[in-house]
Amino acid sequence: MIAALEIILRLAGWLVLAPLLPGIINKVKAWVAGRRGPPVLQLYFDLARLWRKSVVLSTLASPGFVAGPAIAWVAIAGAALLLPLGPAGAVVGFRGDVLLLIYLLALARFGTAWAALETGSAFEGMGSAREVSYAVLAEAALITAVLSLSVHSGSITLETMLTPAAGPGAVLLAGGLFTVLLAENCRVPFDDPNTHLELTMIHEAMILDHSGPPLAVILHGAAVKLLLFAVLLTEAVLPVGAMPPLAGTGALLAGVLAVTVGVGVVESLLARLAFRRVPLLLTTAFLLCLFALLVAWKGGPA
């Protein structure tokens, strides 16, 4: 009973706090541009408005059009529960849970792409193709980063892998994971979440025909995924799990805030890359993670 209550409270924390991150990013972008910008809680208002709206379905769409976003949301929420939260540890953890984390993130992408293809729209098909193409290199970098943490810690359990600092390769790992975060969450320079030009859209093209609660589920799932990668990046670099409870919690929150602000600064200072240059940047992220893996392998397990 206590374990079930802990899982519910941990999940509620992820779901409630996640929409804050896009709001902070938009505030940072507005501050850099000298504007007031939308409120930090804007996504909460948008989600509440979308849940009150009705759903518009294409005549070509099967039940997968609605099931896809739901499957993606459940997969992301399940992946979030696997991550340890600093001194609090993991509420759901087992040997090899890092493998399940990677597969759940892949399942979430599949659900979103599946729903996009259900409409028969050329633009959504194009966005799905681009999303999957980018994922090939992004997942390679993510898996290499996970291997680096595994070699450094001598474990394949997330709670053990993320307890120590990443060692001498921490800077390399941070650079690679931050680039993967931008790619996986469709942020600049890989994609522009505020674009309205269909020919350059990626993630936004995939959700053009979604409305009402399914769109709310997609937007909320994207916010949870952003928080998940921010926590993963912070714990991969900082030894928050080995700190005292108060200090570890503060370091984790500060790290997530720093990553979020960093995303806002990057989006303010950089433009979106041309499609032909995206593979080069993702390859660079893979190489950074690969060098971190070589450093961890050279040093041996902690």
The CA distances from residue 188 to 67, 230, 247, 289, in Å, are 28, 16, 32, 20
pLDDT digits (tens, 9 = 90+) for 23-36: 999 999 999 999 99
Token readout for 20 is: 């804050």
Residue for token digits 């790619």? 183
pLDDT tier at 93, thresholds 50, 70, 90: confident
pLDDT at 110 over 70: yes
* Percentage of the chain exceeding pLDDT 90: 72
> Which pLDDT score, from 0 to 100, does residue 275 have?
84
Q: What is the pLDDT of residues 41-57, one digit of tens each?
A: 999 999 999 999 999 88
Residues 6+ apart with CB under 8 A from 61: 118, 119, 120, 209
Give CA–CA dist 233/173, Å, rounded. 9
pLDDT in tens, 112-168: 999 999 988 888 888 899 899 999 999 999 999 999 999 988 899 999 999 776 667
- 157-176 pLDDT, tens digit per residue, is 999 999 776 667 899 999 99
Model confidence at 301: pLDDT above 60: no
32 burial (CB, 10 Å; 0-12 / 13-18 / 19+) is middle
Q: What are the two backbone dihedrals, phi and then psi, of residue 44, each rounded to the nearest 5 degrees? A: -60, -45
Report the share of the chain in percent with pLDDT over 70: 96
* Structure token pair of residue 31: 């501050």
What's the CA gap between 27 and 36, in Å, rounded?
8
| Helix (H), strand (E) at residue 265 | helix 245-269
Residue ranges per structural domain of the chain: 18-299
Closest by alpha carbon to 44, among 214, 220, 231?
A: 220
- Return the closest-CA partner of residue 202 out of 212, 210, 190, 220: 190
